[in-house]
Structure 1
Amino acid sequence: MATSTSEGPLIQPRPTRVAAAETPRAALASPVVIAAVIIAGLYFGREILIPIAIALLLSFVLGPLVQFLRRLRLPRLLAVGLTVLMTMGVLAALATLIGVQVADLADDVPRYQRTIERKIEGLRESPVGRLTGYVANIGRAIHTAGTAEQTEKAEKTGPAPKAEPEPKPVVVETRQPPPGPLEMAEKVLAPVMQPLATTGIVVVVLLFVLMQREDLRDRMIRLAGSSDLHRTTVAMDDAARRLSRYFVAQLALNTGFGLVIGVGLYLIGVPNPVLWGIFAALMRFVPYIGAFLCALLPMALAAAVDPGWNMLIATALLFVVLEPLAGQVFEPMLYGHSTGLSPLAVLVSALVWTWLWGPIGLLLSTPLTVCLVVLGRHVDKLEFLDVLFGSSPALTPVENFYQRILAEDPEEAQEHADLILQQCSLSAYYDSVVVKGLELAARDAARGVLTVEQRSAIRESVTELIDELAGHPDAEPEAPLAERGDDDEARPGTVPFAPKPPTVPEIWAREGAVLCVAGRGFLDEAAAAILAQLLAKRGLGTRVVPFCDLARAHIDAFDPGPARMTCIVSLAIRGEPTHLRRLARRLEQRMPRVPILVGLWQVDDVAAAAAAVPAGQHVSTLRAATEAVMAAVRQDATPVAAGRRAELAGADAGA
């Protein structure tokens, strides 16, 4: 689901981890061995694990009902017992109904034989059938010609010698004694023993899970980590509520879908509509192929019942209309746009669980994988499950940006920027993504893991991205008209409209009115170019000055031009930034009347940085820098400031 714009355009980034250069073989083998043991346990223990999994999933569905009965002041034992008894009654009624419907369908199948034969005969007489017959005749002719050729060769070689007549076999009949009562009972009960045993395990486990719900929650909290009980408790309660809400909503939606399908098939005239409605409700739990399977059998029956094709077409249209309506309209309304799983994860989980547990694994694949993803989202040690199967991006926007420029792929970085800029302004994107990504690059450069070629490629990629974003306005995205109120203002929670740019005095609009001076870091010049671009979008004249142009040997030859303000920009300083302090001193000596603003991006302690680099103002974000410069522009535009500026100009002219 989309993140609210009031919370910022980005997902909270995880701490950036840098892998070691070499990983011991034992560290690689250990997860493989653990995964193999888990998979083997799931496969060989499926007779026990399947009913336990069904019971756990049913506990999420029945948990709200138990809580409702508890709020009616019923004892827990009575509330759990009533819930389980009602569930068993509903399931028994459904099983009985399905059995009656299947028996009725089996009795009616011989009546449909003549209709099927007539339709097959009609297909044979159709153009497609005749073409198929022609192809079959040609094949038979080719086969006959080959057989005749073999017969001629056999006749030329002469008759084969007569073989000895084989003796006739003697028929031996074995008579079994009539089965006893125990053997009859075994034959009758054998097919139902396995389902009864599975049902018994499900009921017993379900009773204990519902009775010990709080105890199981506490144990999960202990497994997740008890160092921060408040955070862990909130996370577990939220996960349990979300899973219960999702499963209940999915059960309600699939039940309603089966009910509508049953009514629709009844109106169309398809036999046994109750059976197909229940079948459709069950098959909607199966991802991707469930909708196809639940439509296949009713369509085949409609083709067998109706002498024409109207019933088949009506049945197909019923599923074609209702399935997208349920999947694209009602599912987002009930439990969001997705299950929290990526499409590939849904497909892979369906294949894996089907391989492990058979058809029941296919039915349980999505709910089980959802549970695993929720655990991975709230348990640090299982975070890899959320990364592998979750629908959220594997990399944060900052990591994605740095990875793209590191791979020398500014085009994809541009595409990613376009997506983020639909939710935030350009300055917010620069602050939240680009500057933090440049800081990652600066850290890697400080660690010595970037080659000279990689540094050059990163600079070129960042410069290309900045140039591509030059035409993008620095304004918040406008809220859709549907989200605006009657007073033509955005509703709470939506993005406000961008204010009109202020009127800039002519002296501030000259080229070079604001000098954006880069530090000596290999990406400081790119950071200065970003600030210059944002100020230029507000009507200011800017100029980017490299660090080398203001070195001690070149400072006297530097022409400040019509500079009204100087902004020193640096990324991720560490320790005492002596070079910035000396740079600020040289600029102050060269331009004593021009105020200096120092922008130290991604600095946590601004006060310490201000003490290290003396200047008029200190900021740590691009937004704060642009606001400080615009405040100076507004102050310079006042009548008092204008008169003072005229006096200074006259004094300079007299001198």
Structure 2
Amino acid sequence: MAEDTARQLQARPIPVPKAVPPASAQTTLLIIALVVATLYLGADILVPIALAVLLSFVLSPAVSRLERLRIGRVPSVLLVVILVFAALAGFGTVVGSQIGDLASNLPSYQRNIHTKLESLRSTATTAGGGGAMKQATDAFHDLRQEFEKVTGQQTPPQDPAAAASPTAPATRTAEREPIPVRVEQPSSSPFEIARNVLGPALAPFATAGMVLVFTIFMLLQREDLRDRLIRLAGSGDLSRTTEAMNDAGERVSRYLLMQCVVNVTYGFPIGVGLWLIGVPNPLLWGLLATVLRFIPFLGPVISAAFPIMLSFAVDTGWTLPLLCIGLFVAVELFSNNVVEPWLYGSATGLSSLAIIVAAVFWTTLWGPVGLLLATPLTVCLVVLGRHVPQLHFLEVMLGDRQVLPDEAKLYQRLLARDPIEAAEIAEERMAESSLPEVGERLLLPALSLAEQDRQRGSLTADGRTAVAEGMAALLDELTETMATADKAAANTPAQAPAQAPGSAVPADPAAQPPLVLCIGARNDLDEAAADLLAHLLQTHGVRADVIPCETVAARAIASLGTSGVAAIALSYLNPSALPHARRLVRRLRLHFGPRVPILLCLWSAHPEADAPERAIAETAADRVATNLTGALTHLEELGVLEPGETEAETDVEAERKTA
């Protein structure tokens, strides 16, 4: 019987969830609103659960390590939880004793504050002739009297003569004394008194008890909870679900660990520094600085406010407060600029704005506890957005990944007629690569994006003009920047014998360098790509003229000169425009003759596909290039460029960057 049951279970197919159609925007917004309302209304239950999950992330590695020592699941969990809550109780005891010691010294601190205020008052009186505050009060009183005179709202007279005037009855009526009213509350029962007094005091202990219970059961049944979450998320895609859970667990654990290290490296110097400069109870302030730093943004401010105010009360002078402020500023700057960048790295995957928004959002929902949980909970949301396609907007809005590639940002800046930011993007890439590499990986892809929008009909003629003109200005600026850098590198002693590509003077001064016609085949975007090739050829000492598509039209090509032309380069951003290329190649053959080679540049074609061979067969072009490096190589093979100039340019580029 048992064997039959086992055989039936094995033969039972695993249910595969059906594909769910994507939800509409209205449905998504409704679901988000329901989730936010649930989080707000169920805060009393969800906050302890969230705290327990956070503690389970922290304590799970310790429990696993004890289990590997053969201690057992239940003893390991109980031991870890007891140690953690004992540490929390010890921390509370230390803080309570320090607060009691601080309260016993408050009378002496009060006298110091009074003395300091008196010194400030006397200083202001001596410097301002009666005190700035008194002068401001008198000026305000005079202005008030003038205002009452203008508006006629004077105070009623108080002298006997005014009382005898005809208006005296009205004045006495207006000055009638109010009737005192006393409201007596009914006596509260002992049960109501206990509820009003003990209720708020016992609420934190009740929350702590719930967190303790949830944490113990989550640690005891963490594998079962993991399996249930996988089943809810979708057992049909175990790979993605497991990856998402591992990613969330690693990020939250790494964030909490790094946060603990950062807090200790912040609180320990604060406590030692306050002890050295003489601020009372340095142990209390060091512990508070360590704990409060878990609260983003507000934690360091709160931890610094109390000892700074205490330094004002302790010292009758101003030396101790200034030293205390300087200590907190120095430690905060060191922690923010040295410790956190070194330890964090990409520990959270959140942008700075996302951390601020998350802090405001979760604090609004759950109060101070939400501020403490803001970063871990937002990390989980970003992980969900990274692995769940329907929630991808969460990663885009909150994550720190670059949401747009550089070529898309460059195209957008050119389209917006913002040459400054476009030049910044290109120059940043120029600092790491040469001009041909920047052209292949940044400039040509940006033009290809514009061509794709043109084919879809979403790019207007004004937009094409803006992109083409912006690209021309950008190329001029990049070429000028590269020439300036080459000149500076050539003037150094180590680089004095070398010269930049294209700067060498021909052996025969009367000889003219070869001429290459770079033709934009169909529109101004193709012309911009041809301009990019022309700039590269000019850096190699080759004359390159950019020819617009209107010049090679059937009725205008007769006016195009043919003398001195060494090669023709046709630029196409649309690799499927082979019929147009075939007609244009035939027209150029008839005009220039068969002696002038024609290089067909299909910039958006894949170099490993059969596009070059098919394009040669269909268009009868001499060579086909799909990138800038290939175009330069083909021109070398055609005898337009000197052999090895591309390698020489690479060497000089490396020397320029080194210099």
Query: TM-score interval w.r.t. the shorter chain?
Result: 0.7 to 0.9
Matched, 1:283 2:283: no
Equivalence map 1:513-524=2 (5 Å):
513-524=515-526
Report the CA distance between 1:72 and its aligned residue. Answer: 4.1
CA deviation profile, 1:214-248 (whole Å, cap 9, x unmatched)? 55555666677777755664565344323322210
Unaligned runs of 5+ residues in structure 1 are: 1-25, 478-487, 489-497, 639-655
* Residue in structure 2 matching 1:250, options 259, 262, 268: 259
Secondary structure in 2 matching 1:392: coil
Aligned to 1:206: 215
Secondary structure in 2 matching 1:543: strand
Matched, 1:380 2:383: no
Equivalence map 1:22-37=2 (5 Å):
27-37=24-34
Secondary structure in 1 matching 2:569: strand
* Residue in structure 1 matching 2:48, options 51, 61, 64: 51
Report the CA distance between 1:278 and its aligned residue. Answer: 2.0
Equivalence map 1:183-202=2 (5 Å):
190-202=199-211
Report the CA distance between 1:543 and its aligned residue. Answer: 2.0
Report the CA distance between 1:432 and its aligned residue. Answer: 2.3
Matched letter for residue 584 of structure 1: V
Report the CA distance between 1:329 and its aligned residue. Answer: 0.6
Report the CA distance between 1:185 and its aligned residue. Answer: 7.7
1:334–1:176 Cα change, 3 Å = closer
Secondary structure in 2 matching 1:151: coil
Report the CA distance between 1:331 and its aligned residue. Answer: 0.7
Report the CA distance between 1:250 and its aligned residue. Answer: 0.8
CA deviation profile, 1:556-599 (whole Å, cap 9, x unmatched)? 5543333333322211223x611112333444553423433322
Aligned to 1:619: 625
Aligned to 2:613: 610
Aligned to 1:114: 111
Distance in 2 (CA, whole Å) between partners of 1:383 and 1:305 is: 54
Matched letter for residue 114 of structure 2: E
Aligned to 1:539: 541
Secondary structure in 2 matching 1:566: strand
Distance in 2 (CA, whole Å) between partners of 1:504 and 1:210 is: 78
Aligned to 2:158: 151
Of 531-540 and 599-608, deviating more is: 599-608
CA deviation profile, 1:93-144 (whole Å, cap 9, x unmatched)? 1122222222332333233222222222222111268221333355567789
Distance in 1 (CA, whole Å) between partners of 2:222 and 2:640 is: 63
Matched letter for residue 280 of structure 1: A
1:135–1:164 Cα change, 3 Å = closer
Matched letter for residue 278 of structure 1: L
Distance in 2 (CA, whole Å) between partners of 1:297 and 1:274 is: 13
Distance in 2 (CA, whole Å) between partners of 1:192 and 1:170 is: 31
Distance in 2 (CA, whole Å) between partners of 1:240 and 1:284 is: 22
1:161–1:399 Cα change, 3 Å = closer
Distance in 1 (CA, whole Å) between partners of 2:321 and 2:485 is: 53
Matched letter for residue 333 of structure 1: W
Q: State TM-score, norm by structure 2.
A: 0.78
* Residue in structure 2 matching 1:41, options 38, 43, 62: 38
Distance in 2 (CA, whole Å) between partners of 1:602 and 1:475 is: 31
Distance in 1 (CA, whole Å) between partners of 2:538 and 2:187 is: 103
Report the CA distance between 1:624 and its aligned residue. Answer: 2.8
Matched letter for residue 92 of structure 1: A
Distance in 2 (CA, whole Å) between partners of 1:613 and 1:31 is: 51
Distance in 1 (CA, whole Å) between partners of 2:533 and 2:375 is: 48
Equivalence map 1:17-416=2 (5 Å):
27-127=24-124, 130-137=131-138, 139=140, 150-152=157-159, 153-154=162-163, 156=165, 157-158=167-168, 160=172, 190-214=199-223, 233-234=242-243, 236-336=245-345, 339-416=348-425
1:140–1:579 Cα change, 3 Å = closer
2:251/2:347 contact within 8 Å kept: no
Distance in 1 (CA, whole Å) between partners of 2:336 and 2:279 is: 24
1:598–1:74 Cα change, 3 Å = farther
Matched letter for residue 611 of structure 1: R
1:531–1:71 Cα change, 3 Å = farther
Identity rate of aligned residues, in percent? 41
Aligned to 1:14: none
Aligned to 2:448: 439
Secondary structure in 1 matching 2:115: helix
Report the CA distance between 1:533 and its aligned residue. Answer: 0.9
Of 214-223 and 352-361, deviating more is: 214-223
Aligned length: 590
Report the CA distance between 1:637 and its aligned residue. Answer: 5.5
Aligned to 1:491: none
Matched letter for residue 603 of structure 2: W
Report the CA distance between 1:319 and its aligned residue. Answer: 0.3
Distance in 2 (CA, whole Å) between partners of 1:392 and 1:547 is: 41
Matched letter for residue 631 of structure 2: A
Matched, 1:448 2:450: no
1:430–1:215 Cα change, 3 Å = farther
1:376/1:382 contact within 8 Å kept: yes
2:102/2:281 contact within 8 Å kept: yes
Aligned to 1:593: 595
Higher relative contact order (CA 8 A, sep 6+): 1
1:408/1:457 contact within 8 Å kept: yes
Distance in 1 (CA, whole Å) between partners of 2:483 and 2:352 is: 35
Of 144-153 and 516-525, deviating more is: 144-153
Secondary structure in 2 matching 1:523: helix
Distance in 2 (CA, whole Å) between partners of 1:462 and 1:223 is: 51
Report the CA distance between 1:172 and its aligned residue. Answer: 9.3
Equivalence map 1:437-586=2 (5 Å):
437-473=446-482, 501=501, 510=512, 513-555=515-557, 558-574=560-576, 577-586=578-587
Q: State TM-score, norm by structure 1.
A: 0.78
1:130–1:430 Cα change, 3 Å = same
Report the CA distance between 1:603 and its aligned residue. Answer: 1.5
Secondary structure in 1 matching 2:610: helix
CA deviation profile, 1:385-414 (whole Å, cap 9, x unmatched)? 121122334432222222223333333322
Matched letter for residue 550 of structure 1: V
CA deviation profile, 1:417-447 (whole Å, cap 9, x unmatched)? 2333333333333222332222222222222
1:188–1:545 Cα change, 3 Å = closer
Report the CA distance between 1:476 and its aligned residue. Answer: 12
1:164–1:287 Cα change, 3 Å = closer
2:615/2:624 contact within 8 Å kept: no
Distance in 2 (CA, whole Å) between partners of 1:220 and 1:581 is: 60
1:515–1:218 Cα change, 3 Å = farther
Report the RMSD for the aligned CA atoms in angstroms.
4.0
Distance in 1 (CA, whole Å) between partners of 2:361 and 2:298 is: 15
2:244/2:383 contact within 8 Å kept: no
Of 51-60 and 608-617, deviating more is: 608-617
Aligned to 1:653: none
Aligned to 2:6: none
Aligned to 1:484: none
